[in-house]
Amino acid sequence: MARLACETCAVRSKAICSELTRDELTKINAIAHFRAVPAGEVLFADDEPPPYFASILSGVVKLTKSLPDGRQQIVGLLFPSQFLGKTITGRASYSAEAATNARLCTFNRDQFNGILRAHPSLEKRMFEHTLDELDSAREWMLLLGRKTAAEKVASLLVLIARHSRQLGCGDPEHPDRVRFELPLSRSEIADYLGLTIETVSRQLSRFKAKNLISLEGPRVVVVPSLERLAGEAETDEACV
């Protein structure tokens, strides 16, 4: 039996391909193509039917919606092991762009939909993933509608900190200390939180002054106590 590339995949245990039978995995493996994309590359644009779906191997992808006059809102962030693309119902009403350099495991649209049709267990896995995305979206609605600027920024830092810790940056000595690189620029952070860049910058400076974080350059954040930071965020654990 041939070895499958999937077997050495970094996100194997968490992505949509986890819990598949050998047979299913083989079929998925056969249509999978690796693709590296640089930060800033648009993966698909508003209302243009995406040519492929993808599991994210590394990096971060942002989903953006915008108003006719240019106002923007990031409506989703996808981290490694998450799935990009809207199966079944086709075109999405948002655009997807690599926020950082990213590595993707892509699947041709029609081929993937074909496999989905034939393998309910994979479809179920996709369904679960969508339910998680819906939960995250609703959590974010609460943030956008009701949280203060400080709570918003803290919530985002906690979200990213949890993701990067989960990706193996845990320090057993100091389980509450996290150091990570922000996958987003200040203006992207603003677009995710419904704020302006100036407000984001001021809140970060305020957190720095309160020793809730320290910055090593504008992109690298050190959180001495994630618990203390989370206290500023009013966040539940529930985020994906």
Partner DNA sequence: CGCCGACGTTGACCTAGATCAACGCGAACA
Partner DNA sequence: TGTTCGCGTTGATCTAGGTCAACGTCGGCG
In Å, how far are 36, 82, 114 from 55, measured between CA atoms? Answer: 12, 6, 17
Contacting residue, 67, 168, 172, 217, with a copy of itself by CB under 8 A: 67
**Block residue for tokens 């993933």:** 129
User: CA–CA separation, 133 vs 86, rounded Å?
Assistant: 11
- From DNA, a copy of itself, none, which one binds at residue 132 (CB under 5 to 8 Å depending on kind)? a copy of itself
Q: Which is nearer to DNA, 205 or 211 (CB)?
A: 205
Site for a copy of itself in 3-62 (CB under 8 A): none
Helix (H, G, I), strand (E, B) or coil at 216: strand
3 burial type by CB count under 10 A (0-12 exposed, 13-18 middle, 19+ buried):
exposed
User: CA–CA separation, 48 vs 10, rounded Å?
Assistant: 30
User: CA–CA separation, 78 vs 101, rounded Å?
Assistant: 13
Site for DNA in 182-201 (CB under 7 A): 185-187, 194-201
Q: Which is nearer to DNA, 148 or 166 (CB)?
A: 148
Query: Which residues lie near a copy of itself (CB under 8 A)?
Result: 63, 65-69, 71-73, 75-76, 86, 88-89, 92-94, 120, 123-124, 126-128, 130-135, 137-142, 144-147, 191, 193-194, 234, 236, 238
Query: Which residues lie near DNA (CB under 7 A)?
Result: 148-150, 185-187, 194-202, 204-205, 215, 218-219
